[in-house]
């Protein structure tokens, strides 16, 4: 067998072995992360009545997570790049699992704000650490698909978590209501899998004893070629990244996307509850439908983006359609069936946006510069997760209707699409690093 036929065989074996070893485990970790992050939305069906919180308090408390989240995002991404993504991810999971369980014992609004802030600070760095980690293992041409598989945990955590939360809300054990047990029982897996992470993940291909020697050599060689290709185009320092036009545009685009996404996801159970008058378990089942659709569209869009090696339009079109679908949901919101259908379309489009979006920073930035940009985009962008739920809560309290808040989210989503289309405008298209270097 000659060299030309051997290399593709090694490449195929290595790519499959890496994908099957890493992606299912990272997928599971992200499901745990989102169960812990968004269980407050389900808890909001009971917690305000028990503790005397109004919509304004609940919305602000939900958003406090993202204030804490900003604190360690950029340092966390750099730690993952320069030290150990495996150890950093494990530390994050153990600490956030413990703090999440503390939510079960709050009684006042101040305690609510404080614990949500601490949960966000504890989880900060998890997402950028995983994106950085994936860049250590997957070539650019495979990265959107890899991110799509990992990010599939985001919508599926709602599909799993919504019915689970509905069941837990119906229990009362040891004098504690269901919403309190929701935080306790969903915090424990983070601690357990944080410990497992230390022993299961491998930081770099060169240390992977579970790869064959020729597979290690192949993936190391491919990733090294990508690094050299990006350096030929332009080398960025960390500080230059923060002033780079496209990084700023990506940050703003992600901010407005998360404003819309988290504003919808946190308030959706309450919207459907007031619209339908159904039981908590039925409402949580309705609320799971957008995320099931999001999972399907996410995989299809990530696959098509890799096939075309195009990112910008594959991110901009779904997030724009998300805004249009939400506008239609506002207009036809009095019809339960139509409203649920349109919110399902909103979820499908919102989650299709992410895999293609997150493949962009590592397309033109390398190593520490990419890590810093991912941290910046995720930290500032996730402030949208503070403003979305918080402003929705304020507008609901003031107007006694969801309409004004939802229209604000529509504007945010459409603006995100416009900013995404501006990324790279008038410059070289965002193709594979090797293709850019050769052009």
For residues 431 and 400, give the distance between their C-alpha atoms in angstroms, rounded to a whole number. 48
For residues 76 and 372, give the distance between their C-alpha atoms in angstroms, rounded to a whole number. 9
pTM reported for the whole predicted model: 0.70
Exposed/middle/buried for residue 252 (C-beta within 10 Å: 0-12, 13-18, 19+): buried
- 206-215 CB contacts, 8 Å cutoff, 24+ apart: 210/17, 210/21, 211/14, 211/17, 211/18, 212/13, 212/14, 214/10, 215/10, 215/13, 215/14, 215/17
* 395, 59 contact by CB (below 8 A): no
Quick check: 44 pLDDT over 60? yes
User: Can you give the pLDDT at residue 7?
Assistant: 56
Name beta bridge partners: 173.
176
Quick check: 230 pLDDT over 70? no
User: Can you give the pLDDT at residue 323?
Assistant: 93
For residues 13 and 165, give the distance between their C-alpha atoms in angstroms, rounded to a whole number. 40
Q: Any residues with CB less than 8 A from the CB of 324 and at least 6 apart, and which?
A: 414
Nearest residue to 135 via CA among 358, 403, 388 = 358
- Number of domains making up the chain: 1
Dihedral angle, C-alpha 21, 312, 424, 78, nearest 10 °: -30
User: Can you give the pLDDT at residue 398?
Assistant: 84
Give just the sign of the alpha carbon dihedral 158, 163, 167, 169.
positive
> Mean pLDDT lowest for which of 52-61, 89-98, 223-232?
223-232
Tell me the average pLDDT of the chain. Answer: 82
Section 321-346 average pLDDT: 88
Quick check: 235 pLDDT over 60? no
- Residue that is written with structure tokens 């159904």 in the block: 278
The helix, strand and coil proportions of the chain, stated in percent and rounded to the nearest 5, come to 85, 0, 15
For residues 67 and 119, give the distance between their C-alpha atoms in angstroms, rounded to a whole number. 10
Band (pLDDT 50/70/90 cuts) for residue 228 is confident
Name beta bridge partners: 177.
172
Nearest residue to 412 via CA among 435, 383, 431, 384 = 384
pLDDT tens, residue by residue, 303-316: 888 888 788 899 99
For residues 151 and 130, give the distance between their C-alpha atoms in angstroms, rounded to a whole number. 10
HSE (side-chain half, CA atoms, 13 Å) at 284: 26
Q: Any residues with CB less than 8 A from the CB of 248 and at least 6 apart, and which?
A: none
Quick check: 396 pLDDT over 60? yes
- 176: containing domain: 3-438
Token digits of residue 405: 């808040």
Alpha-carbon distances, residue 344 vs 42, 138, 280, 287, 350 (angstroms): 18, 31, 18, 9, 10
For residues 135 and 204, give the distance between their C-alpha atoms in angstroms, rounded to a whole number. 10
The total of other beta-carbon atoms located within 10 Å of residue 167's CB is 13
User: Can you give the pLDDT at residue 150?
Assistant: 84
For residues 302 and 317, give the distance between their C-alpha atoms in angstroms, rounded to a whole number. 13
Quick check: 437 pLDDT over 50? no
Helix (H) or strand (E) holding 128: helix 126-135
For residues 356 and 147, give the distance between their C-alpha atoms in angstroms, rounded to a whole number. 8
* 155, 78 contact by CB (below 8 A): no
HSE (side-chain half, CA atoms, 13 Å) at 66: 24
* 359, 143 contact by CB (below 8 A): yes
Quick check: 120 pLDDT over 60? yes
* 211, 13 contact by CB (below 8 A): no
- Residue that is written with structure tokens 């019809």 in the block: 335
> Mean pLDDT lowest for which of 278-282, 324-328, 378-382?
278-282
Band (pLDDT 50/70/90 cuts) for residue 242 is confident
CATH number at residue 14: 1.20.1250.20
Nearest residue to 119 via CA among 199, 55, 186 = 186
Band (pLDDT 50/70/90 cuts) for residue 439 is very low
Give just the sign of the alpha carbon dihedral 309, 313, 319, 324.
negative
């Amino acid at each position: 067998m000659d060299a030309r036929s051997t290399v593709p065989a090694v490449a195929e074996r290595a790519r499959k072995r890496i994908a099957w070893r890493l992606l299912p485990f990272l997928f599971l970790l992200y499901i745990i992360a989102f169960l812990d992050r968004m269980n407050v939305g389900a808890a909001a069906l009971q917690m305000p009545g028990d503790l005397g919180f109004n919509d304004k308090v609940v919305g602000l408390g939900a958003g406090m997570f993202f204030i804490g989240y900003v604190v360690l995002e950029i340092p966390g991404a750099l730690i993952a790049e320069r030290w150990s993504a495996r150890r950093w991810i494990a530390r994050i999971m153990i600490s956030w699992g413990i703090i999440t369980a503390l939510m079960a014992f709050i009684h006042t609004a101040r305690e609510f704000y404080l614990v949500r802030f601490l949960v966000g600070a504890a989880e900060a760095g998890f997402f950028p650490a995983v994106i950085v980690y994936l860049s250590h293992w997957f070539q650019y041409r495979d990265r959107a698909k890899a991110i799509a598989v990992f990010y599939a945990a985001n919508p599926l955590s709602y599909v799993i978590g919504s019915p689970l939360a509905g069941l837990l809300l119906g229990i009362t054990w040891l004098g504690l209501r269901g919403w309190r047990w929701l935080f306790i029982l969903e915090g424990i897996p983070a601690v357990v899998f944080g410990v497992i992470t230390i022993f299961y993940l491998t930081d770099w291909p060169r240390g992977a004893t579970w790869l064959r020697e020729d597979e290690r050599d192949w993936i190391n060689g491919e990733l090294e070629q990508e690094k050299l290709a990006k350096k030929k185009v332009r080398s960025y320092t960390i500080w230059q990244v923060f002033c780079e036009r496209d990084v700023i545009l990506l940050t703003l685009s992600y901010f407005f996307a998360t404003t819309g996404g988290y504003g919808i996801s946190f308030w959706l159970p309450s919207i459907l509850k007031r619209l339908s008058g159904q039981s908590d378990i039925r409402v949580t089942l309705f609320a799971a439908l957008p995320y099931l659709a999001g999972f399907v569209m996410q995989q299809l869009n990530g696959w098509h983006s890799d096939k075309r090696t195009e990112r910008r339009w594959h991110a901009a079109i779904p997030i724009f359609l998300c805004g249009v679908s939400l506008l239609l949901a506002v207009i036809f919101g009095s019809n339960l069936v139509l409203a649920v259908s349109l919110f399902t379309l909103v979820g499908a489009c919102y989650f299709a946006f992410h895999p293609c979006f997150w493949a962009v920073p590592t397309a033109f930035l390398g190593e520490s510069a990419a890590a810093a940009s991912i941290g910046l985009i995720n930290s500032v962008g996730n402030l949208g997760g503070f403003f979305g739920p918080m402003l929705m809560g304020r507008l609901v309290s003031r107007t006694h209707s969801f309409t004004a808040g939802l229209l604000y989210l529509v504007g945010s989503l459409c603006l995100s699409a416009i900013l995404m289309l501006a990324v790279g405008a008038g410059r070289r298209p965002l193709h594979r690093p090797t293709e850019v270097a050769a052009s």
